[in-house]
Amino acid sequence: MVNRSSASTLGFALLGLIAQKARSGYDLRKFFSSTPMASFSDSPGTIYPALRRLERRGLIRGQVDRERGRRRRELFQLTPHGRAEFHRWLQRGITRADVEHGVDALILRFAFMDEGAGRTAAFRFLKALGKELGEYIPSLREYLNSNRPSMPLSGRLALENGILRYETLLGWTKAAMAAYRKEN
């Protein structure tokens, strides 16, 4: 069986944007098509059903905005339950699986951290991510060293790119922590 109550990555992205201010499906589509959050699809077949799922689970509620002379549109806002679920998502710990599976979802979480969970939580997140990366990167290096001779050049370079990506991320966590310290 599958998680029936909470949301997917897209779901949390929508929750985060709606948490900032009430938005319509169209607003959200435009946001995805016109900002660096373009990794999410802006197609109506993705957005509108996702919003209905969030509504069905009681995480958001929509109300039709019927100002005269304006096109009909439906603005969504978080319910208290939605706000709580979103907050729980932000507060989740960081696992090896999170880091292995692709770091984009983690960065998405972090992007909403200040607004949704506060700066202390943001700092804690960075520290936990740094710790996890510090443990993961050596295992990648080890794999590279053991398999280097048998790997084709493009395969080796691809792996080196992965390692570089994680190392850059680790450096970024440190710079980001410094930025938080400076602000306080």
Which listed residue (9, 77, 79, 91) binds DNA by CB under 7 A?
9
Q: Which residue has tokens 């909403």? A: 112
Q: Nearer Cβ to a second copy, position 66 or 174?
A: 174
Q: Nearer Cβ to a second copy, position 33 or 63?
A: 33
Which listed residue (22, 37, 48, 103) binds DNA by CB under 7 A?
48
Q: Nearer Cβ to a second copy, position 8 or 161?
A: 161
Closest C-alpha to 7, from 121, 68, 64, 89: 89
Q: Does 152 bind a second copy (CB under 8 A)?
A: yes
Name which of DNA, a second copy, none residue 80 binds, using a CB cut-off of 5 to 8 Å depending on partner kind: none
Q: Where are the alpha helices (DSSP H) in 21-152?
A: 25-34, 44-56, 80-91, 96-101, 104-111, 113-117, 119-147
In angstroms, rounded to a whole number, what is the distance separating the alpha carbons of residues 129 and 117? 16
In angstroms, rounded to a whole number, what is the distance separating the alpha carbons of residues 84 and 107? 20
Q: What is the DSSP letter of 63?
A: E
Q: Nearer Cβ to DNA, position 30 or 119?
A: 30
Chain positions contacting DNA, by CB under 7 A: 1-4, 7-11, 24-27, 29-30, 41, 43-46, 48-53, 69-74
